[in-house]
Structure 1
Amino acid sequence: MTSGARRVARVVLLDPDDRVLLLHGHEPEDRDDAWWFTPGGGLEGDESREEAARRELVEETGITDIELGPLLWTRFCSFPFDGRRWHQDEWYFLARTTRTATAPQGLTGLERRSVAGLRWWTSAELLATRETVYPTRLAELLRTLLDEGPPCEPLVLAPEIV
């Protein structure tokens, strides 16, 4: 982990049809500067990454009935957002759910100003989209996950510095 980086847990949430749930984010002051990303966020207090993954999923999607699976990927990223630079050490967990209805329950003020909604994506839709998706290799990573199953050891993704 890069020293001083925000510790983050993210969830690759799949439904029974192997669609992945992504949130549609944007700069708070510029809705045209937009992207898609997996649910998740920073750890609070002394919670574990798994606890943070579950909490963030409930806050951002309202989905509580999940089967949290293995750690899939880790990555370091650094990006500008809301007037400052964020440095994050992210862990991506696999999760499955039978529930596809969403009802965000605990968005922060910043999230309410910067999340425009969410949707379920098929692997084919992700591969075909021209919209920005983070991590940038998500379409390829999801296809491999669906074809081969979770990796034996978590993959360390290349750092993304935007």
Structure 2
Amino acid sequence: MVTSASLGPDWVRGPDGVRHRRAARVIVLDGADRVLLVRGHDADEPDRSWWFTVGGGIDPGESDVEAALRELREEVGLALVPEDLVGPVLTRAGIFRFLAETCRQDEVFFVARVDGGHEPTDAGWTPVERDVLDEMRWLTTAELRAETREVFPTVLPDVVDALARGWDGTVRHLGTQLDDEPSDPEELGR
């Protein structure tokens, strides 16, 4: 059974009582500018599910890049090297409810291009991930905008459109975002 104890040791309770961790995420784009996303749900709210980018917690002693590469291997079976990552291109602090707890995750986002595509695999999923992750899929920004489930960060379609045209070298900061409220697309500097 998945419980708040399943959050793992990387989730540390802060002075405010909120569980917190740092995370590295990767916006993986293919040659058609589709983005590889994972869909998951909360064990406490199995009817609510959402799409999000590949990534997860940064282990002690691990750099942001090392964590991003490890998460790509573990979460979708994609083996890349540091030179394959661009960025960081985006940062944000997400505050959300998961496993009946309020959590804060400070995220750094990279971009990786996989022009030949990639067939994602769940072979590296942990038992907890198997309980809360539902699928992986390549999606276009049109499909993301039409999606009835939540997408995090909420401005991801705009981010993908901007990055598909090429990264301008500017790290965009979305600030702190409650994952049930939309971000301002103007924050992307468009």
TM-score using structure 1 length:
0.90
Structure 1 residue aligned with 2:75: 60
* Residue 15 of structure 1, aligned match among 22, 30, 33: 30
Structure 2 residue aligned with 1:145: 163
Q: Aligned partner of 1:128: which letter?
A: A
Q: Aligned partner of 2:138: which letter?
A: W
SS in 2 for 1:32: strand
Structure 2 residue aligned with 1:87: 104
Which one has a bigger Cα radius of gyration?
2
Q: Does 1:129 align with 2:144?
A: no
Following superposition, the deviation at residue 134 of structure 1 comes to: 0.1
Deviations 1:77-97 (A, max 9, x none): 111101222111100100112
Higher relative contact order (CA 8 A, sep 6+): 1
Give the conservation status (yes or no) of the 8 Å contact 2:87–2:169.
no
Comparing 68-77 and 98-107, the one that deviates more: 98-107
Following superposition, the deviation at residue 156 of structure 1 comes to: 0.2
Q: Does 1:38 align with 2:56?
A: no
Structure 2 residue aligned with 1:113: 131
Distance in structure 2 (CA, Å) of the matches to 1:117 and 1:28: 15
Structure 1 residue aligned with 2:43: 28
Q: Does 1:161 align with 2:172?
A: no
Give the conservation status (yes or no) of the 8 Å contact 2:44–2:100.
no
Give the conservation status (yes or no) of the 8 Å contact 1:14–1:95.
yes
SS in 2 for 1:91: strand
TM-score using structure 2 length:
0.78
Give the conservation status (yes or no) of the 8 Å contact 1:65–1:99.
no
CA RMSD of aligned residues (A): 1.7
Percent sequence identity is 40
Give the conservation status (yes or no) of the 8 Å contact 1:25–1:114.
yes
Give the conservation status (yes or no) of the 8 Å contact 1:58–1:105.
no
Task: Note the residue ranges of structure 2 that are not aligned, 5 or more in a row.
Answer: 1-12, 15-19, 180-190
Give the conservation status (yes or no) of the 8 Å contact 1:14–1:96.
yes
Deviations 1:28-63 (A, max 9, x none): 243311000001000112010000000011111011
Comparing 124-133 and 6-15, the one that deviates more: 124-133
Following superposition, the deviation at residue 151 of structure 1 comes to: 3.2
User: Runs (4+) of structure 1 moved beyond 6 Å?
Assistant: none
